[in-house]
A = this chain, B = another copy of it.
Amino acid sequence: MSEVGADCPLCRDDGGLLLWRGRDWRVVRALGAEVAEAPAWYRVIATDHVAEWSDLPPAAQADAMAIVTAVERAVRRTLQPTKVNLAALGNVVPHLHWHVIARFDWDSRFPAPVWDAPRRSADGTRLAALRAALPACDAAIVEALTPRASAHP
């Protein structure tokens, strides 16, 4: 795998706060306005510019889901979300990336998907507490994945 997409933002940039980079996948925490009301939003992003999940060979799929699972476990352990949401959409940026999003029953869109309209006002106090917990979650993700780095130097 070594393709690069012209003008693809995920080929050009990390796509968020870089937490871990392996040979075929990296993990970032999403930043910016898009995640203002769901800040515990991580992405597992393919190194190569491949669009569809079923284009990956089984070993690359297994690698991806092991990383997604490790991120989800770190999120659950450190943030105790009501639910974790996983998605690979790619309609806007057709470069394979898994969203791993911690959802809370108090968040402004729950139980709707994060892409739906808000159902209630953002709870600033709880959002601030969640944001304060993100560095611990980031660290748990890095710790969970670091042994993998040495397997893919």
Docked complex: A42-59 residues within 8 A CB-CB of B = 51-54, 58
Interface size class of A (residues with CB under 8 A): 20 to 34
Are B53 and A84 in touch, CB under 8 angstroms? yes
Are B69 and A61 in touch, CB under 8 angstroms? yes
CB contacts (< 8 Å) of A51 on chain B: these are 83
* Residue A136, interface by CB 8 Å: no
A72 to chain B, nearest CB (A): 4
* Residue A117, interface by CB 8 Å: yes
The distance in angstroms between the C-alpha atoms of A8 and B72, with both chains bound, is 23
- Tally of this chain's copies: 2
Minimal Cβ-Cβ distance residue in B for A73:
B54
The distance in angstroms between the C-alpha atoms of A87 and B87, with both chains bound, is 4
CB contacts (< 8 Å) of A84 on chain B: these are 52-54
- 4 more A-B residue pairs beyond the given contacts A52-B84, A116-B116, with a C-beta to C-beta distance below 8 A: A54-B73, A62-B62, A82-B91, A112-B115
Residues of A within 8 A of B (CB): 51-54, 58, 61-62, 65-66, 68-69, 72-73, 76, 82-92, 94, 103, 110-113, 115-117
**Cβ contacts A to B, 18 pairs, < 8 Å:** A52-B72, A52-B76, A53-B68, A54-B72, A54-B73, A54-B76, A62-B62, A83-B94, A86-B88, A87-B88, A87-B113, A89-B113, A91-B103, A91-B112, A91-B113, A92-B111, A112-B115, A113-B115
